């Protein structure tokens, strides 16, 4: 499936952020005909079999026709099988297995990056998913529980042998979380050794970083997280029709970010109850505003909103100040 993905930059699956309203607002930066991969938030294989579509923001899939790739947490075959069947019915075009999340409550259930403690076990989990679907299965992973490339390589080869269609590497250890620097050399070395595509992730904040990652790692795609929420037009990197509309200076970038927030609010109001909309929008602004001059003020102002009408007013008023967008920030959230 990744070979059919024409977009060269893809959104990362992020808890509380990669939901339908965000995805659909970002999709407007790509021509409708351009194929991409659109991830969901992490979904629990233990809960999914008992849920109905649109029960929560995480399982709103109004964009099922754009290349939906739900990300699944799981380690037991019956739950994985039943979850994938439901996700297929809901329009999934591929399934991504999370082996990279370092959050404590995920690790307690032996999900996420905890699976990287045992290569054979992780391989078996991938095989469970592959057996459960005819659709592609990918795996998102970290550098591991320790900085040991030989272990990482053998681990990834096990996933390849298990039938993974591609892997995404965020080259930080579990302990690092988002601290320190991502070691892009591990992406390059993994790409050199695997037969399946490798997607690079980590420390990509601007157009120059995208160029640098492709150049230095030769990865097949670049995945961006929070920075792409601040600069959503970068999802069109390498797509000629999309790049024609890229902003030309920090002021234009900031204004386009503001319009993205308003479109996300439009979709959230359409899909979600007001309490969900306010919570999701505040979370989106919190994580995307560090690239914006006085972004903390935008966040503080929108936190005052008691309803979506006030939220919209606060966003519109803030961008009348003509703020600027930064290429990079060291502020980790």
Active site residues: 101
Helix (H) / strand (E) containing 146: none
Beta bridge partners of 325: 292
Q: At residue 271, what are phi and psi to the nearest 5 degrees?
A: -95, -40
What's the CA gap between 100 and 143, in Å, rounded?
A: 9
Length of the chain counted residue by residue: 333
Distance CA 299, CA 290 (A): 10
Contact criterion met (CB below 8 Å) for 12 and 200: no
CB 52 within 8 A of CB 251: no
Spatial CA neighbour of 89 closest among 131, 125, 52: 52
- Closest C-alpha among 106, 15, 112 to residue 56: 15
For residue 288 the two structure tokens come to: 């995307």
DSSP annotation of 299: H
* Bridge partners, residue 89, by sequence: none
User: Which residue, chain included where needed, has tokens 């005909």?
Assistant: 33
Between helix 149-162 and helix 184-193 the angle, nearest 10°, is: 50
């Amino acid at each position: 499936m990744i070979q059919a993905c024409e977009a060269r930059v893809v959104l990362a699956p992020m808890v509380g952020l990669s939901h339908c309203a965000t995805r659909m607002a970002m999709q407007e930066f790509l021509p409708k005909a351009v194929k991409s991969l659109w991830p969901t938030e992490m979904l629990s294989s233990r809960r999914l079999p008992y849920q109905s579509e649109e029960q929560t923001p995480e399982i709103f899939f109004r964009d099922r026709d754009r290349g939906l790739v739900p990300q699944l947490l799981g380690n037991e075959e019956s739950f994985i099988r039943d979850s994938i069947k439901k996700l297929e019915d809901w329009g999934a075009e591929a399934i991504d297995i999370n082996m990279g999340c370092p959050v404590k409550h995920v690790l307690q259930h032996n999900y996420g990056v905890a699976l990287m403690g045992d290569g054979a076990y992780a391989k078996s989990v991938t095989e469970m998913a592959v057996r459960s679907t005819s659709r592609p299965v990918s795996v998102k992973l970290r550098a591991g529980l320790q900085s040991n490339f030989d272990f990482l390589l053998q681990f990834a080869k096990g996933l390849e042998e298990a039938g993974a269609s591609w892997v995404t590497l965020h080259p930080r250890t579990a302990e690092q979380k988002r601290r320190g620097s991502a070691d892009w050399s591990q992406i390059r070395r993994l790409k050199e050794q695997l037969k399946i595509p490798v997607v690079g992730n980590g420390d990509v904040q601007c157009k120059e970083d995208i160029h640098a990652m492709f150049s230095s790692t030769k990865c097949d795609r670049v995945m961006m997280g929070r920075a792409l929420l601040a600069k959503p037009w970068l999802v069109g990197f390498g797509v000629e029709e999309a790049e024609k509309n890229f902003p030309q200076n920090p002021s234009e970038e900031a204004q386009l970010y503001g319009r993205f927030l308003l479109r996300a609010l439009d979709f959230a109001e359409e899909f979600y109850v007001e309490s969900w909309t306010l919570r999701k929008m505040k979370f989106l602004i919190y994580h995307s505003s560090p690239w914006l001059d006085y972004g903390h003020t935008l966040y503080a102002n929108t936190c005052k909103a008691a309803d979506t009408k006030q939220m919209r007013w606060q966003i519109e008023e803030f961008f009348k100040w003509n703020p600027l967008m930064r290429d990079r920030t060291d502020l980790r959230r």
